[in-house]
Amino acid sequence: MVANSRTSRGAGRLRQLNRPQRARVEADDDRVPVAVYLSDRRIVIESALESWRIDDEWWRKRPIARVYWRVLLEDGRVVDVFHDLVRGDWFRQTY
């Protein structure tokens, strides 16, 4: 017998992992991040470990165009930040 697939799974059963959060990021003239604010505290980026660009869903009303940076912060944390090229906003993801 198969369970009724139309039943609700209940609140809290599914959740997004590593959801991007709007971030305040300082970047240089070439749009390379140099500092990020975490809990309203400015943290200098010690080094950029890697960067990559994603362009997707170009056929939609709001395509995806982002430049990601994996950065090492001066306090030792590794953070991914990305610049949404369509909206102009910065976001972060923390491990």
Residue 2, number of CB atoms within 10 A of its CB = 4
Strand pairing class (24-27; 21-22): unpaired
| pLDDT, mean of residues 56-65 | 90
For residue 62, the cross-strand partners are none
**What are the structural domain ranges in the chain?**
21-94
Give the per-residue pLDDT at 20: 86
Q: How confident is the model over 7-60, as pLDDT tens digits? A: 555 566 776 677 889 999 999 999 999 999 999 999 999 999 999 999 999 888
CA of residue 77 relative to chain centroid, distance: 15
